[in-house]
Amino acid sequence: MTQRGPAEFTPPPECPVFEPSWEEFADPFAFINKIRPIAEKTGICKVRPPPDWQPPFACDVDRLHFTPRIQRLNELEAQTRVKLNFLDQIAKFWELQGCTLKIPHVEQKILDLYQLNKLVAEEGGFDLVCRERRWTKIAMTMGFAPGKAVGSHLRAHYERVLYPYHLFQSGTNLLCLQKASVDDVNDEDKEYKPHDLLQRQNIHVQPSDTSAPARRAKRMKTEVNTPFVSEGCENRPNLRRRMGSFVAKPEPGEHLTFVDLYVCLVCGKGNDEDRLLLCDGCDDSYHTFCLIPPLSDVPRGDWRCPKCLAQECSKPQEAFGFEQACRDYSLKSFGEMADSFKSDYFNMPVHMVPTELVEKEFWRLVGTVEEDVTVEYGADIASKEFGSGFPIKGGKFKVAPHDEKYLRCGWNLNNMAMMTPSVLTHVTADICGMTLPWLYVGMCFSSFCWHIEDHWSYSINYLHWGEPKTWYGAPGFAAEQLEAVMNKLAPELFESQPDLLHQLVTIMNPNTLMAHGVPIYRTNQCAGEFVITFPRSYHSGFNQGFNFAEAVNFCTVDWMPLGRQCVDHYRLLHRYCVFSHDEMVCNMAMKADSLDVVLASAVQKDMQLMNKDERELRDKVCKMGVVRCELFEYNLLADDERQCVKCRTTCYLSALTCPCRPGVQVCLHHAHDLCSCPVSNYTLNYRFTLDDLYPMMNAVRQRAESYDEWASRVTEFMEAKLDKKRNVTVFRVLLEESDEKSFPENDLLRQLRLVTQDAEKCSSVAQQLLNGKRQTRYRTGGGNSPNQLTVEEMRSFVRQLYNLPCCLTQAPLLKELLNSIEDFQQHSEKLLSDEVNADSVSEIESLLEEGSQFDVCLPELPLLRERLEQARWLAGVQQAENLVSNPCGLSLDSMRRLIDRGVGLTPHPSTERTMARLQELLTISEELEEKAQALLKARWGHSMLTQVDGVPAYLPNCLLLQDTVNRAKEWLQEAEDLQVGGQTPVLSSVSDMVLRAHAIPVRLEPLDQLEVLVSEVQAWKESAAKTFLIKNSHFTLLEVLCPRWEVGSSLKKMRKMKGECMSSGKKKLVKLDSMSDVERALSDSKDSASAMFTLAEVRLKELESLCALRAANESKLLPTADCASLKVCVCQKPPMGAMLQCELCRDAFHSVCVRRPSDPLDPEAWLCPLCLRSTKPSLAKIQTLLASLQRIRVRLPEGDALRYMIECTVSWQRRAREVIDSYDHSLTSQDCRGASPTQSHRTTGHKRKVEELMVEGLLLQVSVPETQQLYRLLLSGPPTTDTSHTEHPPYLTPKHSSPQREVRSVKLSEKKAKRRMNREEAEIRDRGMKPKSKKQRMGTEKRRERKAASVSASDVSQSEDSEEDMTQCPAENCLQPEGEEVYWVQCDCCNRWFHMICVGVSAELAAEEDYMCVTCSTTNTGRRK
């Protein structure tokens, strides 16, 4: 079982990635200076060259052989290494006593002995923890669940395993301890095989004669109670993963006597020689049973006595470092090994392993104690020996012509370090790794630990090919913070190795550093990409797989101050320098004329510090008593030959030597550490005198004088205080001056340019804010969304304006604007704190208008808008409830709209109260509306009208219910009047009442009766239509029953009636120009008499039109007419062939165009299709129809027309019988007495009368026998001398007619029509006109004659054969007066006639005033109500 690993790794944020254009890529140092302000904040950055930049790989692969370093991953991590060191010390402690360390299990987890020991120490030690019972607290701190007695287990394990070691460390004599054996453990505990860190760090433990301790690939073994067994080096498998350095056992330092070898040093006895145990360190003797704890058997391995144990464990550790592998690799063999390792480890092809998985697995492995994974790293391979990956001039790699540009390219790492902008060009020696690139061949998990570059320089790394390299970096300003965190978390490592971070052997999880506040950034460097690290930026990383990289250092002008700080830092750490910084500065000073002004200025400043320190140190040495001085050219010595013996600093300007120690020198900082000789024996060796140094510095100063003067002014202006700040134009002038004098790019110039740009941007933003324009800016990481400045940001912006090194004219104006905004905020806060009021709308609007003028994000604006909506809403509620502006009150829709608007408002007590009131009112109103709607659907509603009056709302359903009830009452009153009144209702009125009743959602009792009545009328109309209408006829029933107001489709409308005809109602006649006018007049008529009068008028028009039509048709058929232009028949073509003549309209028709008579021999009058309008039923059928209509007791236009038709038919029959009877009588007389001229004349007049009657009979839509009789009479009249007058053939053609006959016929027709017209007018006047005095005196005989000659004015319910009904008075109590003369009076409304004596009206009153009967008076009174 293994212990749970550390928490899953969280990748740090990515570092900046730059993709320069070809123009930017042309000058590497200019580009690096450009990106430095950004990249140095993260410590590392990645640069992707342009896609076409692909240098050839120039390394000699065949010659490249290297021996890699061995890296055991869990030894790299600082905290893990501390744990391993502790466990190895514990294991060695017990091992030297002949016992095997077994790490116990607690709660199925391997116990972390290091953490347990550390927690007990922090709590005050074993005794204090036991005394105060803190074991449960320690158990919970270690992550164990409480309540399981884990604390007691931890105490037992500590007391058994760690407490003896603690007592040993404190100096207590172990022989006095009475403790149980460490072997007395459970079978589940795992044996710990000692890690060989102590061996490889040269802790010289005396081995046995045959073997030495070996490193285990897995420290946690499953065997139990197995003794420590030494293994020979030759028996170790997988040497590549386990290589250790093995030191031979030193010989014992002292020799014992023969007697001492056989005497136990504890008991002083020499008995039990077989139980005497000899120490392998000092050969002292001890009985096995005298030892504490006693040994049951002689150990098979090495055994140390307590004295030797103390000596071995107290030896100091040496610095930890990587071992070199035993095997030499070529690039191909290393790649095969690397790919095989990665594919086997992840069990998948190398190219398919995700980088994220490799990264998490790497940090898991370096943090675990239980798992050992060993990898190899080909690092720091000198390119000078095997060739660089980049092509170089004069190299063995032959460059293609198109790749020659890479020989001179600045990004070629062989060129970069020694280019002019790099100050390392002034270092005379070739420094491998700094001025000459180093090569790196990596495999999966091979890593480079946390470190900074030598002399805190820049570094640039290029990955030529292979899998990615993962980098982690910290910015330079966090270097000391990172060192402090690592020193805090692993103090044991730094105590024995202060310059640990300079050895590139220690790594720490970036998540751990980030948890302690260290900023860490990462990136994955892919093939063809550069990674640049900046001065003093710690960086580390690992390889994702097999790859090939190349790196070199370089230094720019901005590095100069850091370089001198680094030398001072190295002096404190006693770390050697790679090159002499003072030598480099002096080399540059001796070439002052060739330096650019910026570099000259930097050298002058550095040299000034150098000269100052050198003068002080030389003065100090002189005061010590050193008197001898010698000129010594240290530049001729190698660096390792001129190092300070104390601090290992490379000496150049001066050093102290003593004859007692030739070849040894110290720097002037450590003058007291040279030797113990008198100071007077010391010699001061110097490279330059002070007098030589100052001219060199002056030469550099002169070179940099113009730049220094410019730089001093820039510094002065940028550090000026508030009252001495210059305008931004002064900074622009300084920038222009730098351009004119071609000052190279440097930090001060960049800072000046940045300050000027910031000032100009601030000026622009300030001006836009003052102008009220919207400023678009972009927040860091916030995308490209435009945002307004907040008030706090504006305050910061104003402070920024005043903190700028220059002064801006907009600053005071913007400050004033900020004050106005703050005043606005105060006013807004006061208003927002008050109660919401509907009267505050105008005030809020004015505030909003004022706030909108500020181009600032004001948090009060949305609150004011919300408050404005609240105030407007309250104002809307007040307006809706105001009865002056809204008399109807609140409607349901208004309440719902207000509530919906109120729901979207921001909650506020005022709006909430109003909302609650509206909601309550809406609920009550909706309940009333639902009740009203339900009552309306149930067609009843009288009960709830009293509840509505108390609700202050407009309720449409309730109002509709109230209106419905009122309309229902009115309708019921009309229905009652209709039933009670004496008049027969008209169908239109009944239908209108039914329609209105359907529109009233109230149950109305008389409605069913009226609907039945209407349905009966409709059924009657359908029956009448079946009786009269021809199949597929286009005439309506009313058109058939009514006289035609126009006869003949080709004739113009008849002239309008002239004059005034007085009706019973004393009204003018209505214009009757169309059938709709006739139907309207019949429907509007008050009684049957009026309808009869209207129909009589239409009949008169019909007769007039027919007479004119007959005359016109007969005249066009005269022989004198032009037959070619004559248009006859329905086809409107000239006459031809057999023709038929209509007996009614007298028009001619082609026999082929119309239907012929069924029997040509039968003497029957033939009518054309235009004149035959109905089936002409018999009189008996239509009388039955009239009787059924009278039973329905409803007046309708079709009924009046039918009654008028029957009356006309009956009247016509009477006259026709009289004519037929007189015609028969004249024939009888003629037969008896013979013909005479007088009789002949009478016969001719009689025939004319018969012909007129026949025409009237043909107009009737009733089939009566008298029509055929009259027609036969005309056809077979008595013989006369002129036979042409008696012949009337049914078929007439132009060939059979004579002109004389046609002329006579026309004249006769005209005369008959004229006489008939005069007679009809007389009849109309006799029937229609009444005396103006409205009283009439008539007898019974006269009334009977009027009944026979005209239409009766009585009710439609009277029988058509009851003449006595005409004499009945409608009065309720008719007195039935008798006598020859009875006086009558007519009602002006219903036109009925009453006995004057029955209604109490005198003759004088009837003559002077209008009369209205009792029924009409009651009806009109109800309507007025």
Does residue 220 surpass a pLDDT of 80? no
pLDDT number for residue 565: 92
Does residue 1050 surpass a pLDDT of 90? no
User: DSSP per residue over 975-1015, as a string?
Assistant: HHHHHHSSSPPBHHHHHHHHHHHHHS-S--HHHHHHHHHHH
Lowest mean pLDDT among 359-368, 697-706, 1015-1024, 1407-1416: 1407-1416
pLDDT number for residue 322: 60
pLDDT number for residue 913: 86
DSSP 162: I
Does residue 184 surpass a pLDDT of 50? no
pLDDT number for residue 294: 63
Q: How confident is the model at residue 548 (pLDDT cuts 50, 70, 90)?
A: very high
Q: Could you tell me the end-to-end alpha-carbon distance of the chain, in angstroms, rounded to an integer?
A: 110
Mean pLDDT of 125-132: 81
Lowest mean pLDDT among 451-455, 565-569, 902-906: 902-906
Q: How confident is the model at residue 1423 (pLDDT cuts 50, 70, 90)?
A: low
Lowest mean pLDDT among 424-433, 509-518, 863-872: 424-433
User: Parallel, antiparallel, or unpaired: how do β-strands 323-324 and 69-72 relate?
Assistant: antiparallel
Consecutive H or E run containing 685: strand 683-686
Mean pLDDT of the chain: 75
pLDDT number for residue 787: 62
Mean pLDDT of 422-450: 84
Distance CA 543, CA 353 (A): 13
Distance CA 563, CA 553 (A): 13
Which tens digits make up the pLDDT trace of 906-951? 888 888 888 888 888 888 877 777 777 777 676 554 444 445 555 6
Does residue 1367 surpass a pLDDT of 80? no
Q: How confident is the model at residue 1379 (pLDDT cuts 50, 70, 90)?
A: low
pLDDT number for residue 499: 61
Asked if residue 334 lies in contact with residue 240, where contact means CB atoms within 8 angstroms, the answer is no
pLDDT number for residue 952: 61
Distance CA 76, CA 322 (A): 10
Which tens digits make up the pLDDT trace of 760-800? 888 888 888 777 644 433 333 333 335 677 888 888 888 88
Does residue 854 surpass a pLDDT of 70? yes
Does residue 378 surpass a pLDDT of 80? yes
Mean pLDDT of 104-128: 78
Nearest to 896 by CA among 930, 927, 925: 925
Nearest to 606 by CA among 592, 619, 620, 622: 592
Structural Rg of the chain based on CA atoms:
68
pLDDT number for residue 798: 84
Nearest to 205 by CA among 302, 322, 306: 302
Which tens digits make up the pLDDT trace of 1204-1261? 888 888 888 888 888 888 777 766 666 555 555 555 555 666 677 777 888 888 888 8
What count of Cα atoms within 13 Å lies in the side-chain half-sphere of residue 1002?
A: 24
Asked if residue 511 lies in contact with residue 455, where contact means CB atoms within 8 angstroms, the answer is no
Does residue 1340 surpass a pLDDT of 50? no
Does residue 896 surpass a pLDDT of 90? no
User: DSSP per residue over 763-823, as a string?
Assistant: HHHHHHHHHTPPPP---TTSTT---PPBHHHHHHHHHHHHHSSEE-THHHHHHHHHHHHHH
pLDDT number for residue 947: 52
Mean pLDDT of 270-281: 76
Which tens digits make up the pLDDT trace of 1078-1108? 777 777 776 778 888 888 888 888 888 888 8
Which tens digits make up the pLDDT trace of 480-500? 999 888 888 877 766 666 666
Q: How confident is the model at residue 229 (pLDDT cuts 50, 70, 90)?
A: very low
Does residue 578 surpass a pLDDT of 90? no
Does residue 1281 surpass a pLDDT of 60? no
Q: How confident is the model at residue 876 (pLDDT cuts 50, 70, 90)?
A: confident
For residues 860 and 1061, which has the higher predicted lDDT (pLDDT)?
860
SS3 category, 1034: coil
Which tens digits make up the pLDDT trace of 197-217? 544 444 333 333 333 333 222
Asked if residue 1097 lies in contact with residue 1250, where contact means CB atoms within 8 angstroms, the answer is no
Mean pLDDT of 1284-1308: 37
Asked if residue 227 lies in contact with residue 300, where contact means CB atoms within 8 angstroms, the answer is yes
Nearest to 1311 by CA among 1250, 1252, 1270, 1240: 1252
User: 59: which 2 tokens?
Assistant: 């390394």
Does residue 265 surpass a pLDDT of 90? no
Does residue 870 surpass a pLDDT of 80? yes
pLDDT number for residue 204: 36
Mean pLDDT of 591-612: 86
Distance CA 1307, CA 1337 (A): 43
Does residue 1120 surpass a pLDDT of 70? no
Q: Per the omega criterion (within 30 degrees of 0), is the bond before 519 cis?
A: no
User: 723: which 2 tokens?
Assistant: 């009252």
pLDDT number for residue 862: 86
Note the pTM of the prediction, 2 decimals. Answer: 0.50
Q: How confident is the model at residue 189 (pLDDT cuts 50, 70, 90)?
A: low
- SS3 of the chain: helix, strand, coil, percent, to 5: 50, 10, 40
Does residue 526 surpass a pLDDT of 90? yes
Asked if residue 621 lies in contact with residue 674, where contact means CB atoms within 8 angstroms, the answer is no
User: What letter represents residue 958's amino acid?
Assistant: C
Nearest to 186 by CA among 159, 149, 157, 147: 157
Mean pLDDT of 899-907: 84
pLDDT number for residue 433: 59
Nearest to 1102 by CA among 1322, 1254, 1349, 1320: 1320
**Torsion angle in degrees (nearest 10) through CA of 118, 123, 129, 131:** 160
pLDDT number for residue 1181: 83
